[in-house]
Amino acid sequence: MMLQNIEKKIEDFIARIEARNPNEPEFLQAVKEFAHTVIPFIASHEKYSGKKLLERMTEPERSIIFRVPWVDDQGEIRVNRGFRIQMNSAIGPYKGGLRFHPSVNLSVLKFLAFEQVFKNSLTTLPMGGGKGGSDFDPQGKSDMEIMRFCQAFMTEMCKHIGPETDVPAGDIGVGAREIGYLFGQYKKIRNEFTGVLTGKGLAYGGSLIRPEATGYGVVYFCEQMLATKGEKIEGKTVTVSGFGNVAWGVIKKINALGGKVLTISGPDGYVYDKDGISGEKIDFLLELRDSGNNKAEDYVKKYPEAEFHAGKRPWEVPCDIAIPSATQNELNLEDAQKLVANGSICLTEAANMPCTLEAINHFISQKVLFSPGKASNAGGVATSGLEMTQNSIRLNWSSEEVDQRLHEIMVGIHNACMEYGKEEDGYINYVKGANIAGFVKVAEAMLAQGVV
């Protein structure tokens, strides 16, 4: 098909999605990135054409929005909004995390659920895609308030999920503690002990390596990308944003492989530690996270030789590799230009959609190694899939076994990206590769199952 025809097809499709989903900028951003690479593929593969596959994939199978009333420590009644977006179940039960953060709304969760569908497909495990959460802000809440909120949230959500239907997990603001409270309430109401959530504690069905898995997977993926250029992580400088679970796993593995991590960040600014964030400083990140303070500056109070840059992002620090690990749209075109100008060779997304579309296009146009989160951060949900398997067979695997499977899955995702993303000049367009490889499996399943 002529190039202009394809461009027109993409434009028309995006216009329709825009009209259908007004005021959903994050969702539109995720769909745009996908459509630009997948529509040309569909147009050149007759079996996928004319089946309205993209129209179906961009419409959630079900969006559940509910009231979450709870009582705070002062006896005040509070009301939050709860969501579960069940996006696509073509290849397995809906699977994806829960995010508790004041920025949560329908657009954010639809973008996350959309990304999750293709991410889960890339893992090769039988998981559909979903996402949920609430605009509840866990910052500054007591443990009992967190528990009461989780119980109120699950009182409604338990009607819509189950081990063969929809299996939520954690995301920003939802870690082991929240998963425990959510699981307890599900068990109490449904009177069944099942693998309905992942990211559980080890004492009640969790998997070893799940806490580290997203970060480890990101670094395994990064290793594969570097290997295509004959490079490795050893001796490289790395800038990381965030200081949550994902950043922690990334920093641990980068250190284990001989790299040096120079930064972390929070909503308040970034920390530059010229000596590298290693050893006990990595353990301190867990304390920082659990302090409930959400301030990267607290790192500098403990390690005064590090510098704190208030209100700034770490992308101005020269580095070989940048790994955004905080949240969506935390790295824009200007940041991308700085990184490239400073000689960075690789950008590996660890958060979901941390780079804006303009930033991604800049990395790709400059032929810098760039991987989208749906490929490089898939290790978290992949290990959730391994947790589901262990729950089903009622056995626990060793750390080595889980880690080895995680590694194999990340190498497999990298291979899938190469298969569909290698361009004529040899450059690997990981965005294209991940989108098409993720799309193909979901499309095959949808075609086989008819119009449902």
Binding site for ligand GLU (CB under 6 A): 95-97, 169, 171, 198, 352, 380-381, 384
Which lies closer to ligand GLU via its Cβ, residue 384 or residue 435? 384
C-alpha pair distances (Å), 82 with each of 58, 112, 144, 284: 21, 15, 19, 32
Which lies closer to ligand GLU via its Cβ, residue 198 or residue 429? 198
β-sheet bridge partners, residue 71: 77
Which lies closer to ligand GLU via its Cβ, residue 58 or residue 207? 207
Strands (E), 126-217: 129-134, 166-169
C-alpha pair distances (Å), 280 with each of 190, 248, 255, 283, 299: 42, 12, 12, 5, 12
Residue 131 catalytic? yes
For the CB of residue 370, give the shortest distance to ligand GLU in the complex, in Å. 19
Measured in degrees and rounded to the nearest 5, phi and psi for residue 200 equal -75, 165
Round to whole Å and give the CA distance between 395 and 79: 40
> What is the DSSP code (8-state) at residue 404?
H
> What is the DSSP code (8-state) at residue 296?
T
Which lies closer to ligand GLU via its Cβ, residue 198 or residue 391? 198
Round to whole Å and give the CA distance between 53 and 285: 43
For the CB of residue 350, give the shortest distance to ligand GLU in the complex, in Å. 10
Which lies closer to ligand GLU via its Cβ, residue 344 or residue 384? 384
For the CB of residue 199, give the shortest distance to ligand GLU in the complex, in Å. 6
Tokens 């025809």, residue located = 5
> What is the DSSP code (8-state) at residue 133?
E
For the CB of residue 98, give the shortest distance to ligand GLU in the complex, in Å. 8
Residue 324 CA, chain-centre distance (Å), reads: 11
Contacts with 279 (C-beta within 8 Å, 6 or more apart), sequence order: 255
For the CB of residue 342, give the shortest distance to ligand GLU in the complex, in Å. 29
For the CB of residue 99, give the shortest distance to ligand GLU in the complex, in Å. 8
Q: For residue 150, give both structure tokens.
A: 């989780």
For the CB of residue 441, give the shortest distance to ligand GLU in the complex, in Å. 17
For the CB of residue 306, give the shortest distance to ligand GLU in the complex, in Å. 29
Round the CA-based radius of gyration of the chain to a whole number and report it: 21
Measured in degrees and rounded to the nearest 5, phi and psi for residue 130 equal -155, 170
Which lies closer to ligand GLU via its Cβ, residue 169 or residue 336? 169
Strands (E), 72-182: 77-88, 94-100, 129-134, 166-169
Round to whole Å and give the CA distance between 395 and 383: 15
Which lies closer to ligand GLU via its Cβ, residue 344 or residue 348? 348
Round to whole Å and give the CA distance between 342 and 82: 43
Which lies closer to ligand GLU via its Cβ, residue 106 or residue 388? 388
Closest CA to 112 of 169, 43, 150: 169
Position with the least CB separation from ligand GLU? 97
Q: Which of 95, 110, 119, 131 is catalytic?
A: 131
Strand order across the 269-272 sheet: 307-310, 269-272, 260-266, 237-240, 321-323, 346-348, 369-371
Looking at the chain, how many residues does it have? Answer: 452
Q: For residue 157, give both structure tokens.
A: 């959500």
Residue 179 CA, chain-centre distance (Å), reads: 17
Which lies closer to ligand GLU via its Cβ, residue 352 or residue 371? 352
For the CB of residue 154, give the shortest distance to ligand GLU in the complex, in Å. 16
Round to whole Å and give the CA distance between 154 and 6: 45
Helices and strands, number each (H, E), in the chain: 16, 12
Residues marked active site are found at 131
